[in-house]
Structure 1
């Protein structure tokens, strides 16, 4: 089992398979994707070896991320490779959902266990203003299709922004009242290129948490492979509400996840100062060297992300590692 110097155990790998994204979200890629490197992303065989190496170190869950992972034509094969790895019990994916309606069945048939879709507004015009894409209706139809196909572990991620969606919270709650999904409010995080936007738009999730507790929502139990969200449920709602508050006290104390970039670099934190290359260990089916390298690198993991001090590390924008 992977364990760091602070006693945190790591069951969960977030694996980016591309840093390309076709949306232009105002908090992440307002100018669109700008490539500053060769697009030599991890191959299917490298991903298979990576999943095997991590599974032998106790990893039980892999989340496939981007950029936008659905831009890779071999996405079903990647899902299948991760799901077919001994020890990997859960394969999840985070997507903007641009082709969800067309591709959902392929992903589910490949073994996808759960899906997170980014939707920052349930108003079509506001959604387009945030993302640059008029796709909300298609994405919501794709979520309905997933539910029809039996994929019930679905979450919607919504980044809180003062001017763009804070006033839409009742619309989100109405949606959750009748839709059996989890809607998660995420505090906007500062990155290397969004300081001005962050200062203007950041909203604390504390007020939402207070409202939930006042209205009888109950905190649910988190499994050991869960992400950072605190999830709440209510008897009168079909769905759940989640909160991800990276600026809250002791947020990092329950960290259970590591990240690997699409270029084969291990990131000990979303806001680490650099990625540590492990790609050179992915050219052989013998994963012992990979496992030893990961264990050695994990010794450098810090106790916190230091976001409160304005430290953003090497993360210039969230599409680099899928957030």
Structure 2
């Protein structure tokens, strides 16, 4: 079966697969009131995940990122990693985590097949970290990053959402940190969601401002690599770490889109913002359903739009990013 491709010639080799929308943090830009379950959630089972990943592996998917909520809240998280890593054609297994369990489990997850990890750290000031996340776990998260470095992960990224009036003065601290630490630091521009209009108006900071500061300090733009996606990456001869900027409001941001998303309840999302998703779960019960599932994936790609329309003020149907894995 041919690789997934849309009507604009974009090929999709990267799947962001949510395994839960539960999170134990209360980040102000995502879940300011904490996680609120809608009844008793029934997230994808390990068997359903195995069937999903197997189908995607047959249509060109080479990289899978396990997301949440906080994915490590699942008791079978290590088993999920192993299932994904053991799937033929999947070359890269990654996850995004708030890092609170990383110190204890980094080696275990690495041994199961996890190779890349993104840790959310929105401030290097413990007080500001607490103000943004609602959790006093800064030291715990930083120990987790050290454990990941020690475990030998091939790439460790730290994600920080840019927030005017909160962490926008933290750039010098971040730069000092990555001078001697081999991680990729990624600044993510705040995106407006259905529940976050007022917050967006108060705290949105353009990534262009950070880009100008970096260029003034001698950071050089790196030519994109195949798996970089929409991030603009920069390096500096005096620093071990790199910096990536994710600026969804910049023109042509969607031109390099290479990813699809599946929610923790089995819905395919072609974009983070523009649609309600297509249910795949009825075709995840048995391996014999794989041909029909693959046919459905190809058919849905014909509906993918050229852009997310965020730059036109369209926030779409996504109420908060935890609901489909960010």
For residues 219-234 of structure 1, what are the structure 2 equivalents within 5 Å?
219-234=221-236
The residue that corresponds to 2:324 in the other structure is 321
1:102 aligns with 2:104: yes
Distance across 2 between alignment mates of 1:152 and 1:179: 14
Q: TM-score, normalised by structure 1?
A: 0.98
- In structure 2, stretches of 5+ residues that fail to align are none
What's the offset of the Cα at 1:310? 2.2
Q: Structure 2: how far apart are the matches of 1:90 and 1:184?
A: 19
**Is 44-53 or 309-318 further displaced after alignment?**
309-318
SS at match of 1:166: coil
Question: Which of 300, 303, 319 does residue 300 from structure 1 map onto?
Answer: 303
Distance 2:247 2:153 in 1: 27
Secondary structure at the aligned position of 2:15 is classed as: strand
Tell me the distance in 2 between the aligned counterparts of 1:314 and 1:48.
28
Does the CA-based 8 Å contact 2:229-2:256 persist in structure 1? no
Q: What is the alpha-carbon root mean square deviation over aligned residues?
A: 1.0
Residue aligned with 1:196, SS: helix
1:157 positional shift:
0.3
Aligned-pair distance for 1:105?
Answer: 1.4
Whether the 8 Å CA contact 1:157–1:184 is kept in 2: the answer is: yes
The one-character-per-residue Cα deviations of 1:116-170 (angstroms, maximum 9, x if unpaired) are 0000000001100111111111111111111111114100000000111001111
**Residue pair 1:146, 1:152 contacting (<8 A) in 2 also:** no
C-alpha change, 1:226 and 1:38, in structure 2 (3 Å) is: farther
- Which of 147, 150, 175 is the matching residue for 1:173? 175
Deviation at 1:209, TM superposition (A): 1.1
- Note if contact 2:250-2:311 (Cα within 8 Å) is conserved in structure 1: no
* Aligned positions, number: 323
Residue aligning to 1:291: 294
Measure, in 1, the Cα distance between the counterparts of 2:256 and 2:118.
Answer: 21
Residue in 1 that maps onto 2:240 = 238
1:202 is aligned to 204
Counterpart in the other structure of 1:257: 259
| Contact 1:60–1:225 under 8 Å retained in 2 | no
Counterpart of 1:93? 95
| TM-score, structure 2 normalization | 0.97
